[in-house]
Amino acid sequence: MDFLQHLELGFVTALSLRNVLYCFLGCFLGTAIGVLPGLGPVPTIAMLLPLTYALSPVTALIMLAGIFYGAQYGGSTTSILVNLPGESSSVVTCIDGYQMARRGRAGAALTIAAVGSFFAGTFSTAIVAGFAPTLAEVAFKFGPAEYFSLMVVGLLGAVTLAHGSQLKAIAMIVLGVLLGLVGTDVNSGAERFALGVPELGDGINFVVVAMGLFAFGEIIHNLETTAEAREVFTENVKLGLLTRQEARESAPAVLRGTLLGSLLGILPGGGAVLASFAAYALEKRVAKHPERFGTGAIAGVAGPESANNAAAQTSFIPMLCLGLPGNATMALMAGAMTIHSIQPGPQVMTSNPELFWGLVCSMWVGNVMLLVLNLPLIGIWVKFLTIPYRLLFPAILLFCAIGTYSLANSTVDVLLTIPFGVLGYVFAKLECEPAPLLLGFVLGPMLEENLTRAMLLSRGRVSIFFTRPLSLGLLVIAAGLMGLMLLPVVRNKRAEVFVEG
């Protein structure tokens, strides 16, 4: 089948009434929850996951993807109207977006965020459609040694590009991999680290980890900090037209943001957060009047918003083609696929073409929906913003608890979220990012399986990883990434990108 046939298959799947409906529902719910301050895409997806259990795999994934970019988009609305990011990828949008709102240009800021996101979404969906088959073909040449090396590159890359201490992040990955080993070992059938709890024989569900570490950890942290008085712009917020000057300034920023975001999304550990920070730094660098950044420069909204949406889209590429999630959100999507008994990886494209292409095309459909949804509904989202946190967090807790219970109608699963909640709080205090842990957790069993198989093939010689050219190449990249971090120039630059703003 050639490219156009693929796209046709995809659009036929994505545009079926049922899938359009669920895509809409996903975008709607995702935006509604994403708008709420302090609730990012990971807990949002984890919370809404139970709604998709009963659906067919294609529809479920389409809805989940809708939830994902809805949540992403909702976060930017919050950033602009309340000086409080709805999620970490819109932290930088706060800076200039909020200042624009204070100067009465909230409408323009929201418009450019919507239009920029739509443009970026369209472009990056095309990238996914064009790039994915080629990458999947390469992936078919991979043996266990290559897969193992690839995962090492992916995990180390995630550490290099994420912010915070690398050593701690690596330790978090290893801890995640170890936690992922809990349960029955596929090779020997031995039950490991189950502590005599029969429910642990099937391993810890990734939703349990995500809920505990991300959702509960976040809520505990929010309850601890006293709510400061914030100014919320809820009066008469409408999407407004840009002035000619604003349009001229933002158009190239959208373009730059889209390109940068598409590229950074593909990299392991990349994704929306890194893309938006990098795009902000880039806009500030190329601007004629960099001093205007921080006081409401529209390029400071247009660039990062386009970039984070583009990256959100292209971060599907490694997950769909290689079965390698590059960030926590994708780890969750990969987990959702396995719930519907689809193993993410290159075989999905050939064994389930309508799922793969349907999902890709639904990304574009979802972006159209976001644009359409947000024009008339912005008033409703703004209402959501005025719900006080004291009413919100018990609701979040309730839906997390019921959602976890409904995974397997198991109370043990819900109780297991509690130690992970404690762990999430402790790690937040110790400045250990939870995302690498989730990544390691999802990849852990695959890592062990491929290592075991590679070592079996080589009769116990580690040299197999260095003598096979593809594997060697990947390991050289991994070493390069590590080496890069030791260079003071890179180290400072990296800190700068994340600190900037």
Partner 1 sequence: MRVTVKSSKDFFAGVVFVAFGALFALGSLSYRMGTAARMGPGYFPLVLGCLLSALGLAILVRGLAFSARSGPIERFRLKPMLFVLVPIAAFTLLLRPAGLVLSVAVLVLGSSRGSHDFRLRESIVNTAALLLLTVAIFVWGLGMQIPLWPGFVGR
Tokens at 484, concatenated: 């890069």
Site string for partner 1, 196-225 (x = CB under 8 A): --------------------x--xxx-xx-
Q: Which is nearer to partner 1, 69 or 393 (CB)?
A: 393
By CB under 8 A, residue 241 contacts partner 1? no
Q: Which is nearer to partner 1, 162 or 260 (CB)?
A: 162
The dihedral region occupied by 498, where left means phi > 0, alpha psi between -120 and 50, and beta the remainder, is: alpha
Q: d(Cα 469, Cα 157) in Å, to the nearest integer?
A: 20
Do 20 and 14 form a contact (C-beta atoms < 8 A)? yes
Q: Which is nearer to partner 1, 335 or 421 (CB)?
A: 421
- What's the one-letter identity of residue 204? I
Site string for partner 1, 327-366 (x = CB under 8 A): ----------------------------------------
Interacting residue with partner 1 among 141, 244, 285, 459 (CB under 8 A): 459
Site string for partner 1, 121-160 (x = CB under 8 A): ----------------------------------------
Q: What is the nearest approach in angstroms of partner 1 to the Cβ of residue 222?
A: 8
Q: Which is nearer to partner 1, 53 or 140 (CB)?
A: 53
Q: What is the nearest approach in angstroms of partner 1 to the Cβ of residue 404?
A: 9
Q: d(Cα 466, Cα 137) in Å, to the nearest integer?
A: 22
Q: What is the nearest approach in angstroms of partner 1 to the Cβ of residue 196?
A: 12
CA neighbor of 71 nearest in space, from 95, 88, 58: 88
By CB under 8 A, residue 380 contacts partner 1? no
By CB under 8 A, residue 21 contacts partner 1? no
Q: d(Cα 116, Cα 247) in Å, to the nearest integer?
A: 11
With residue 192 as reference, give the H or E element that holds it.
Answer: strand 191-192
* Residue 37: strand, helix, or coil: coil
- What's the one-letter identity of residue 313? Q
By CB under 8 A, residue 163 contacts partner 1? no
By CB under 8 A, residue 181 contacts partner 1? yes
Supply the DSSP string of 218-282, one letter for each residue. HHHHHHHSPPPP-----TT----PPPHHHHHHHHHHHHHHHHHHHHHHHSTT-SHHHHHHHHHHH
Tokens at 307, concatenated: 């970039």
Contact region for partner 1 (CB under 8 A) — 147-155, 180-188, 469-477, 487-495? 180-188
User: Which residues in the 389-408 window bind partner 1 by CB under 8 A?
Assistant: 389-391, 393-395, 397-399, 401-402, 405-406
For residue 75, the number of C-alpha atoms closer than 13 Å in the C-beta half-sphere is: 30
Q: C-alpha distances in angstroms, 231 versus 9, 20, 83, 101, 173? A: 48, 37, 8, 10, 39
Contact region for partner 1 (CB under 8 A) — 200-208, 234-242, 336-344, 422-430? 422-430
Q: Which is nearer to partner 1, 2 or 431 (CB)?
A: 431
Interacting residue with partner 1 among 12, 178, 251, 485 (CB under 8 A): 178
Q: d(Cα 136, Cα 132) in Å, to the nearest integer?
A: 6
Interacting residue with partner 1 among 319, 328, 432, 443 (CB under 8 A): 432
Residue 167 neighbours by CB distance under 10 Å: 10
For residue 304, the number of C-alpha atoms closer than 13 Å in the C-beta half-sphere is: 35
By CB under 8 A, residue 490 contacts partner 1? no
Interstrand relation of 183-184 and 191-192 (parallel, antiparallel or unpaired): antiparallel
Task: Find tokens 């990886």 and name the residue.
Answer: 345
Tokens at 4, concatenated: 């156009």
By CB under 8 A, residue 177 contacts partner 1? yes
Determine the longest span between alpha carbons in the chain, in angstroms. 70
Geometric angle at alpha carbon 436, from 270 and 348, rounded to 5°: 65
Q: What is the nearest approach in angstroms of partner 1 to the Cβ of residue 368?
A: 27
By CB under 8 A, residue 51 contacts partner 1? yes
What residue ranges bind partner 1 (CB under 8 A)? 50-51, 53-54, 165, 167-168, 170-171, 174-175, 177-178, 181, 185, 187-188, 190, 192-193, 216, 219-221, 223-224, 226-227, 389-391, 393-395, 397-399, 401-402, 405-406, 409, 411, 414-415, 417-418, 421-422, 425-427, 429-432, 448, 451-452, 455-456, 458-462
